[in-house]
Amino acid sequence: MPPPPDAVAATAELLRAMLRSQAAYRQRWVRHALRMRTDDISYAAVSQVVALHLWDQGIVADSDRELPRRLRDRIRHALRGEQLSYETLTWIIESFYFTAEDSHKIWDTYAGNDPDGAGSDGVGSTLRIPPVPMVSSQKHQTKALFSRYYINSDRMLAKIETSHAMVALEDGVDTFGYSPRDTVADVQVIAGGSFAGYRSSVPGFIGVELRLDRTLRIGQHASLQYFTAHRSTAEPCTQVRRAARSRINDVDMRVIFDTVTPVRAWWCAWDSYDGGNTVLRVPTDLTPIWELHRFFAYIEHTVVGFEWEW
């Protein structure tokens, strides 16, 4: 569902204020401005910053030198509050390296929430180390994600069951990729698509590509249900993580223990897909049915999950 028009207008006003008045953001676009006749924002300069980000991330081929010109109308409409899509807002936030606090304020405003109130229960902008490369360019927005992590009696991660709802951000979306740990033993799609194959990734991870049942046009929705089975490792499992490069809404995570349960546990956010520093570490109790559970209204540019001790 698109945001209400007043939320789009308020978000655009907030973006303009930040880009105009906050030195770290202003400096990024001013260096690309050819002329500064007023104190207003140069749409061409902002478009250049966004284009550099898209080239750097491999989202658009760097041979496409017309990209800044093509982005100009989109950026102008966005900053005027005339049309501001999820994708465009994501590009602006990532291109200008908005802080976690500013990102939360922007997304809450876009969702129609009070940015100065309690806000939504989300986590974002904790990554400090480049994320694992994408299996393929992301052409969808995740609308909801439900993950179930099963820990067996040997204290090993046995499998992860995932239900994934998405909406296409452009025409021709027919695949979905993700990068689990390289302990994967099997991938099976229950509904919504089929396993297309493994793809190369960085050490410690493996790329998985799934093919959707149908090719999506922009704005069309689809859902996938799949599970990833994992082989045993030398050490017991003591944490599970869910990474988010771009914004993922309505994330529900559960860790389900077979017969052995941890003595203490925390929900966490990290600054890296693997290892790294713990940015948030909050004690949490097992549910009455001996599970770890947390719901996030959204996660973006972060890694969240659970950590425990046996």
End-to-end CA distance of the chain: 43
Residues 108 and 39: beta-carbon distance below 8 Å: no
Per-residue pLDDT at 120 exceeds 60: no
Selected residue with higher pLDDT from 78 and 196: 78
pLDDT in tens, 59-68: 888 888 899 9
In this predicted structure, what is the pLDDT of residue 250? 82
**Residue 36: its pLDDT value, please?**
62
Query: With bands split at pLDDT 50, 70 and 90, how would you rate the model's confidence at 116?
Result: very low
Under 8 Å between Cβ of 155 and 260: yes
pTM beyond 0.75: the answer is no
Name the helix (H) or strand (E) containing 43: helix 43-56
The answer to whether residue 79 scores a pLDDT higher than 70 is: yes
Provide the CA 70 distance to its chain's centre, in angstroms: 25
> Which tens digit of pLDDT belongs to each residue from 227-285?
899 998 889 999 999 888 778 888 888 999 988 999 999 988 888 877 788 888 888 88
Kindly tell me if the per-residue pLDDT of 195 is higher than 50: yes
Q: What is the pLDDT of residue 156?
A: 94
Asked if residue 48 has pLDDT above 90, the reply is yes
Query: Which residue in 61, 140, 57 sits closest to 97, CA to CA?
Result: 57
Mean pLDDT for the stretch of residues 219-231: 88
Q: Which amino acid is at 169?
A: L
**What pLDDT does 113 receive?**
58
State pLDDT tens for residues 183-193. 888 988 888 88
In angstroms, rounded to a whole number, what is the distance separating the alpha carbons of residues 221 and 305?
Answer: 27
pLDDT of residue 167: 85
pLDDT score of 119: 41
pLDDT (tens digit per residue) in 27-47: 999 989 877 655 588 999 999
What pLDDT sits at residue 117? 43
For the chain, give the mean pLDDT.
84
As given in the structure block, the two tokens for residue 110 are 């876009």
- Give the count of beta carbons closer than 10 Å to the beta carbon of residue 271: 16
% the chain with pLDDT above 90: 25
Q: Residue 306: its pLDDT value, please?
A: 94
Mean pLDDT of all residues in 128-149:
74
Is 118 a residue whose pLDDT tops 50? Answer: no
Give the sheet arrangement for strand 173-178, strand by strand.
Answer: 173-178, 207-216, 193-199
pLDDT band at 15 (very low <50, low <70, confident <90, very high): very high
DSSP annotation of 181 reads B
